[in-house]
Structure 1
Amino acid sequence: MKTKPHKAMWTAAAVVAAVGLAGVAAYALDLPPFEGRGEISAERVCSSLGDPEKSVPALLDVLPSKPSYRFDDNLAGQGSRFFTSNCFVWNDGKVLLSARTRMLVADPPDAWAAEAIGEAQAGRAKRFDAGTSGVVDVSDGRAAVLVPCSAPGTYAGGSYSLSVVVDLRHHEESGKPAVEQRLVELAVAAARSAHSAATCDLPSKVPVAVPSVLAGPAVPAVSTDSKAVIG
């Protein structure tokens, strides 16, 4: 038996309407594929990332859009040469971003950069003026700062610095200039927070204002003697 043209038309219209209503319902309930972006509240952000009024906007600009975010923050060894700080941002069992700090015997900046972000990454990284040295490789989603911490004699083994590394592991636009500057902001904020938490006795040489990425080939960090810095 053949279906009448007008009946087939009404059947097709009903199917389209049903699909449309299902889509609206999925959007309203935040069901796939319409999952909304999860909230990043100041109360949940890692304290080791510094002032949440500044870290939250930076995180929103670099993190991929996910329905939820989980923050894990851990500090240990305050006031000793074994100080560490680790912040992880998770979604669905995967680390999206990490900000990790450890204390180490002061190294030459170039040797430190190769160890902190990788030899290949350090070779193409740009510099920014913070601490002893600041480097960022946006193509790999990494930024790092080397910060003076303890003078010789404070702890056994010589003078110590804090190595702060921010690693953005998942982002669809990790090569964009805005992401590059945000990575620098997060690394500098984490360095400032770590310098305070570790009770360092040397000035941090971290500038008050967020430094800009230096154009051109990588060069040694510029002295901050003439700029306002945080001790």
Structure 2
Amino acid sequence: MLFWLLSREACRNMWIWNKRKGSSPELEALRRLENAMQGQNELNQAVQEQLGKLARLQYRNGQETSALLEQLGGQIRKDAEWRDTEADLRREQEARERVLQTMTDTAISWLDDLDAVIGRLHGEEQADWSRLLRMWCGQITDMLALAGIHELQVLGSSFDPGWCEAIGTRPRELSGPASAGNNEKPSEARIPYQVVEVVRRGFAMRDGALLRKAQVITLEEKSAYDESRSF
């Protein structure tokens, strides 16, 4: 830059000196050199401005890129934290489901044991025990209902293989209209494969999903061959 300034000053001095002497080829060359140097200076100035703009643009882009990277990193960290939280919630839910399943299995097992004991209690001297055990059974079924598990109400209804498992039959005592000494009603006699005893309770979830079929005793049904032989 200093060399350029000195050269320019020398050219200016020579131009002044030659101007006093008049026009000459050397003076014209100096004028062209001066014009060229002035154009180069303007070009350098324009280049410096463009370089400044480019530097500012790069800085701004760098800042924006850094902000975007920081935002992306924050989102990745949030996603990782959410996945960890989701995994923790899933493990807690699975643990609660296991505890609920254990409690359900235990409560149903208690019902089976209580029903077995009640089935062996006979006579007036054991009536108080029978009432107490039946009360306990009701409390357990109420607790299961609160957990969304309901007992299948199949006693007195027609046998449904979707909900029941038949483990035995009992002969019908009524073949026609109700007879003396028979407590069975004609309307009840017309129910096909009627469930007359629940040996083991059945259960279903609140949404209707079967948890366990009921084991039942049904009334016998006469076949067409047996009915033809009755005439």
TM-score in terms of structure 2 length: 0.33
Structure with greater strand share of residues: 1
Larger Rg, first or second structure (1 or 2): 2
TM-score in terms of structure 1 length: 0.33
Structure with greater helix share of residues: 2
